Amino acid sequence: MAEPVLQAVPPGGPDNIAKAEKLARKKRLALLTLLLACACFIGLTIYDPNHHNPWVGLFVAMSEAAMVGGLADWFAIVALFRHPLGLKIPHTAIIPRSKDKIARNLADFICDHFLGKDHVLDKIREFDPANRLAKQCASPETSAKIADLVVKFAPRLMYLLDSAELQEFVRATTREKLRDMDVGRLSARFLTILTQDGRHHEMVDSLLNDIADFTNSDETRNMLADKIAGELWSVLRWVNLDKAVADNITEKVAAGLRELIQDLADNKDHELRLKFENKIPLFIDRLNTDPALRARLDQFRDRMLENQELSDYIGHIWRKALDWIKQDFANPQSEIRRAIMGASRNIGSKLDEDPDMKDWLNRWIMETVDPYIDEYREKIRSFLMERVKAWSADELTAQLELAMGSDLQSIRLNGTLVGALIGGVLFGVMQFIGWVVVAGQATAQ
């Protein structure tokens, strides 16, 4: 009752071919074992039809049970994949008939038992990604591997970035997008965000304090003195008083300017500051509504985009940067490589020493993954069902038989051998019962 070896191996490469060969060997072994049991039964029955020899009786019983076990298992296994001997017996060819049901059950089993939200989140929690990330980044071996990976792929990336085709594409695309940009509305939106809820006050205070410090420096006073001296009337220059007067004026100007700026920084209700802040909403409104202002901004944008010197300058800086990066990567003592290794170890060490940050990172990962689990689980479920349903019945049968057919043929072999063992045991039991009955009858007589 040999099952025909698969005539067409489903696609899958050498692995499927090896599985098909293993399946064929197992089928041949199971068949030979069954044929051996049949030969023993037939031969011994011909040799001793009445089984007078107890050993003949034992082996006949074993071979008979082996045939029953082997044939039963053969029928059950074949019935999974096709109709035994081509006979359309009920409840056979189970897999081809139940293809869609198998697809649905397989998808449900995988998604419900392996991709359930609790299972996935528990696995992420058990994995502890933040701690693993910290340990790996802090490891010298890992940081070296990261740096080596960057250095390995950098030349190809440099070649791509240095190509004239890519640069021209980026330049043309950027110009096109920037030319379509509404500078006025974008500036208005930026200023609105900047001034919302008084966020700009801190920046203005910092800027005014920096200007005050700048006017208080010796370099600034000397510069102002030189400018004022150069503008003083010639009479003072003739009597050599221009420098002295300039120094005196400079000191007064710098002190007054510094006092004014410091007052603006310290007093948010200062008249000049209030005037400036009151102008901001009006300027934002002009950016949105004044055609003349918007046109000037667009003209400025277009002049910048059409400025060939600016474009050449940016291109020069870009090429110099790429040349330096190439030279550095070619150097065994690459600064970039050392920087990557140092950054990796530093990030890993800092993260490893900060349990609160690790807890936050783990929570962030869990909260980020959580809403997508259900969505992608259903997509995976649909994909599995559609993929299995797309197979023909023959293809599905072939794939499953290749995957588990070898083990099923081992069941056939075991069924034959276990049947023989059970047949021998039953024969022994029957002989023992017969002996007991005969002994009992002899004792009664």
Q: What is the pLDDT of residue 233?
A: 45
Inter-helix orientation angle 117-127/355-390, to 10°: 140
Q: What is the pLDDT of residue 286?
A: 81
User: Alpha-carbon distance 6 to 400, whole Å?
Assistant: 12
Within the chain, what is the greatest distance between any pair of CA atoms? Answer: 166
**DSSP conformation letters of 98-147:** THHHHHHHHHHHHHHHHS-HHHHHHHHHHH-HHHHHHHHHHSHHHHHHHH
Q: What is the pLDDT of residue 37?
A: 92
Average pLDDT across each block of 10 residues of the chain; the chain has 445 residues. List them in order. Answer: 43 70 88 92 88 87 92 88 82 81 85 84 90 90 88 81 78 78 81 71 68 67 60 48 56 67 70 72 81 84 80 81 85 87 91 91 90 86 84 78 82 89 90 82 74
Name the residue among 397, 420, 394 with its Cα closest to residue 408.
397
Q: What are the phi and psi torsion angles at 50 (to 5°)?
A: -95, 0
Q: Which amino acid is at 386?
A: E
User: Alpha-carbon distance 40 to 21, whole Å?
Assistant: 29
Is there a contact between 38 and 417 (Cβ–Cβ < 8 Å)?
A: no
DSSP secondary structure code for residue 162 in this structure: T
**Half-sphere exposure at residue 327, Cβ-oriented, CA atoms within 13 angstroms:** 6
Q: Which two tokens stand for residue 169?
A: 């594409």
pTM of the model: 0.52
Residue-range domain boundaries for the chain: 14-97+393-444, 153-348
∠ CA 290-291-295, nearest 5°, is 120
> Cα 416 from chain centroid?
49
User: Alpha-carbon distance 187 to 369, whole Å?
Assistant: 36
Q: What is the pLDDT of residue 218?
A: 67
CA distances in angstroms from 272 to 152, 201, 256, 281, listed in the order given:
59, 14, 15, 16
Q: Which residues fall within 8 angstroms of residue 3, CB to CB, at 6 or more apart?
A: 27, 74, 77, 78
Cα four-point dihedral sign 320, 323, 324, 325: positive
**Half-sphere exposure at residue 216, Cβ-oriented, CA atoms within 13 angstroms:** 11
Is there a contact between 373 and 117 (Cβ–Cβ < 8 Å)?
A: yes
Q: What is the pLDDT of residue 239?
A: 46
User: Alpha-carbon distance 322 to 167, whole Å?
Assistant: 12
